[in-house]
Structure 1
Amino acid sequence: MTIPSSVTQLLVMLVLVIPGFVYQAVRIRIVGRKPGDTDLPTRILRAIVISTMFALIYLAVLGPEITTAAQDQAQLAGHPRRFALMSFVAAFVVPTISAIAFNRGEIDLKVNRKLILHPIKTIRSEEWTRYDLRPSAWDVAFQGARVGFVRARMADGTWVAGYYGPNSYASSHPDPQNLFLELAFAVDSTGKIGEPIVGSAGVVIDCRNALVVELLKIEPEQAEPDPIGPPPQTPSLGAQ
């Protein structure tokens, strides 16, 4: 995006670009994502439409003041605080309040539905479900995941497994769902994890077509692998 080089260009950005993005960000925060919110072109188009609506309202209410400010830069230079305050209100405050007001019905609907279905449990806030802003179950599973074993069943029915430790890596949205496991283990046709593969320096797994990806805990008495020592004991689990 080109950096505004004049007051007029800055006004255009504040009025025609920023309000739409602010409105969408606040709406997602209080209501949750909807179809199209993860698609960047759709979000940009929606932001332009929303910003245009705000711009028309601003022009209808403050038409003379806006046109004068855009044409007379000396007036803006003489009142920088007033210009900054008006810009802040137009670009951030009004879109934020509008997002809360226009989506209040969905907020009330969620609360009322909760009260109707669970009138007693709602007294205990820890039993409420909530919308998670993380974009996928993959990110929920691997964000802050503890060390352990990962076992994946691929589309062709084969199993792949390995040790997910401090030197392992899991991709995050929007990158493809890939894993790097620092130590590969043999897996039989039933999914039972065997011994570590001799000479293994890790394994990369493309999980986009995986049917199942399991995270298996290490028992308390099992230690993390020592680079120069024996690998951790594998959990005695077959295919689930």
Structure 2
Amino acid sequence: MPFPTTAFGIAAIVVLLVPGLTYGLVRRTLRGFRFDDLTIDARIAQALVVSVLLDAIYLAVGAAWIASVVHIEGNKVFVEEPGLLGLAVLAGAFAIPGLLSFVLNSPYRIRRRVPKAPRVVRPKKRKKQRAQSKYVIERTTYYEAVPTAWDKGATDPRGRAVRVTLPDGRMLGGFFGSGSYVSTYPEPRDLYLSHQYFVEADGTLGELIPGTAGVWLRISDDHIVEFFDPPDATGDDLTDNERTESNGE
């Protein structure tokens, strides 16, 4: 879809999409991805519904003020107070939808404090106690904004050894550290390991392969990817002289 270049087209995008997109972005951050968040079409449809609802409320509340600020004469649009109108657009497109989404989707809720059962203790000198509020803010649900388990596990920044079992049963081993790379949602899963290890018959990771410059793998559902604490000597721990000696062996 081509992006509009006229003032009317840009205004239409702001009015019909931006409030809903802001609402959805905050919701996904707080509650994680849902099934209907996986396609652009579904996100745009959600944004349109939310934006139309909010725009209707804005018109019902501030139609008179908008008419006094914005004047349309033929193909020309005149704005009397552009600064004030800009603040209104920021509030209507970002602040209000974001705050509304936070209130409706926040995992935190205000609940009445449950009194604890009294304990039988030895009498002591009473200390002055602070008055406790009748209400407390509690986290009632737990969501993760990361869309997939692969994104969560594979992007751990710690240096780790990796063993990948291929669909035919062969195993490859390597080190995921500085210089490595992993793709995340929505791109297909693939993995570049900066250093490759020999893999013994029992699956144990062996020595660093001499001259290794890394290995690239496309990860499908038939692959098994395992992460381990790195061996004592990883590619990042080798000095230039040690790497040169290893390559010469």
Mark yes or no: TM-score above 0.5: yes
CA contact (8 A) 1:185 1:196 kept: yes
Q: Distance in 1 between matches of 2:9 and 2:67?
A: 13
Q: 1:198 to 1:210 in 2, by over 3 A?
A: farther
Q: 1:166 aligns with which of 160, 169, 178?
A: 178
Which residue type is aligned with residue 97 of structure 2?
A: P
Q: For residue 19 of structure 2, what is the aligned residue in structure 1?
A: 19
> Cα deviations across residues 165-185 of structure 1 (Å, max 9, x unaligned)?
423222233222212223333
Q: Which structure 1 residue ranges, 5 or more long, are not aligned?
A: 116-122, 232-240
Q: Distance in 1 between matches of 2:57 and 2:16?
A: 12
How far is the alpha carbon of 1:193 from its aligned partner? 2.4
Q: 1:139 to 1:229 in 2, by over 3 A?
A: farther
List aligned pairs for 1:7-156, cutoff 5 A: 8-63=8-63, 65-66=65-66, 69=70, 71=72, 75-76=78-79, 78-103=80-105, 107-108=108-109, 130-156=142-168
CA contact (8 A) 1:154 1:209 kept: no
Q: Distance in 2 between matches of 1:39 and 1:174?
A: 10
Q: Quick check: which one's strand share is greater? A: 2
Which residue type is aligned with residue 207 of structure 1?
A: I
CA contact (8 A) 1:159 1:189 kept: no
How many equivalent pairs are there?
A: 215
Which residue type is aligned with residue 173 of structure 1?
A: Y
User: Which has the greater radius of gyration?
Assistant: 2
Q: 1:129 to 1:196 in 2, by over 3 A?
A: farther
Q: Distance in 1 between matches of 2:245 and 2:36?
A: 50
How far is the alpha carbon of 1:152 from its aligned partner? 1.1
Q: Distance in 1 between matches of 2:55 and 2:47?
A: 12
Q: For residue 199 of structure 2, what is the aligned residue in structure 1?
A: 187
TM-score by length of 1: 0.72
Which range moved further: 217-226 or 204-213?
Answer: 217-226
Which range moved further: 159-168 or 213-222?
Answer: 213-222
Identical columns (%): 27
Q: 2:225 aligns with which of 202, 209, 213?
A: 213
Q: Distance in 1 between matches of 2:35 and 2:71?
A: 37
Matched, 1:224 2:226: no
SS at structure 1 position matched to 2:237: coil
Q: 1:209 to 1:225 in 2, by over 3 A?
A: farther
Q: Distance in 1 between matches of 2:30 and 2:195?
A: 42
